Amino acid sequence: MSQRLDGRVALVTGASSGIGEATALALAEAGARVAIAARRRDRLQALAAKLEALGAEPLVLVADLNSEAEAQRVVADTEAHYGRLDILVNNAGVMYLEPIVEADLGRWRRMLELNVLSLIASTQAALPGMRSRRDGHIVNISSTAGRVANPNAAGYAATKFGVVAFSEALRREAYQHNIRVTVIEPGAVATELREHIGHAEVQAATNAWAEGMRQLQGSDVADAIVFCVSRPAHVNINEVLMRPTDQE
């Protein structure tokens, strides 16, 4: 049976659009108080108004999470503001797609920093508080690209396979402290992610592929996340692999 999240405090990174925005709203609807982090202040403030109306007492955290220090700071600010952090949703991410031979390694480095190192930094910052309370849930957003590595997606897949591996090791370090870990692996979701692919041909092909199917919506992924974090305390859903019905 689903538990309400009343009294729980969540932090969602990358909450200014897409999956993160939908997740913040869904957590609020389930009763959680919600801190939201990303770079675009205007988008966060618009979301905060909706969260406020849901009684979620939002905390807006404008941060460039490419910086590990900022990834740690948003956790510290959430704990300072609410006195605790129960649910950390590590969602912020970018997807740069291009053939390896043409890859802009500077961009790939930034993708690795955000998709992997920043997620590790915010997790590391959240663990002491969760361990001391023997309570917490960390949800990491990977992708089907964390399970299947496609041509033109080598760098992105490396980050998302990395998130899956990190999450499994994290789960095995954290479970004895009563901390749950869930990794979510969605297929194509209709969000702004593909706007930043960077390589025109690959972008056009990826858009055509995604638009040729009934894509998941951010709210579909948010529903799965809320399902996982609202299980009774003895249930830890480790992994959710979800695709559009139309996706191979």
**Residue 94 found at the interface with ligand NDP (CB under 6 A):** yes
> Quick one: tokens of 78?
């959430």
Return the range that interacts with ligand NDP (CB under 6 A); candidates 39-47, 51-59, 120-128, 168-176: 39-47
**Residue 24 found at the interface with ligand NDP (CB under 6 A):** no
Binding mask 116-155 for ligand NDP (x = CB under 6 A): -------------------------x-x------------
CA distance 29 to 47: 13
101 close to 24: Cβ distance less than 8 angstroms: no
Contacts of 86 (CB under 8 A, 6+ apart): 8, 9, 10, 32, 130, 135, 136, 137
Amino acid letter for position 97: L
How many residues form the binding site for ligand NDP (CB under 6 A)? 30
Greatest Cα-to-Cα distance within the chain, rounded to the nearest angstrom: 50
CA distance 99 to 97: 7
Task: Give the one residue of 11, 19, 130, 225 binding ligand NDP; rule: CB under 6 A.
Answer: 19
Contacts of 69 (CB under 8 A, 6+ apart): 121
Ranges within 159-188 binding ligand NDP (CB under 6 A): 186, 188
Task: Give the one residue of 3, 45, 66, 247 binding ligand NDP; rule: CB under 6 A.
Answer: 66
Return the range that interacts with ligand NDP (CB under 6 A); candidates 26-34, 62-70, 167-175, 225-233: 62-70
Amino acid letter for position 185: E
CA distance 71 to 102: 30
- Report the DSSP pairing between strands 87-90 and 136-141: parallel
Query: Shortest approach of ligand NDP to residue 218 CB, angstroms?
Result: 6
CA distance 90 to 74: 11
Query: Shortest approach of ligand NDP to residue 56 CB, angstroms?
Result: 17
Task: Give the one residue of 58, 93, 136, 155 binding ligand NDP; rule: CB under 6 A.
Answer: 93
Task: Give the one residue of 26, 30, 32, 38 binding ligand NDP; rule: CB under 6 A.
Answer: 38
Task: Give the one residue of 34, 54, 56, 193 binding ligand NDP; rule: CB under 6 A.
Answer: 193
Task: Give the one residue of 64, 201, 211, 246 binding ligand NDP; rule: CB under 6 A.
Answer: 64
Question: Is 156 known to be catalytic?
Answer: yes
**Residue 23 found at the interface with ligand NDP (CB under 6 A):** no
Name 179's bridge partners.
136
End-to-end Cα spacing for the chain: 32
Find the catalytic residue in 82, 96, 156, 175: 156
Q: Which residues contribute to the site for ligand NDP (CB under 6 A)?
A: 14-20, 38-40, 43, 63-66, 91-95, 114, 141, 143, 186, 188-189, 191-193, 218
**Catalytic sites, residue numbers:** 156
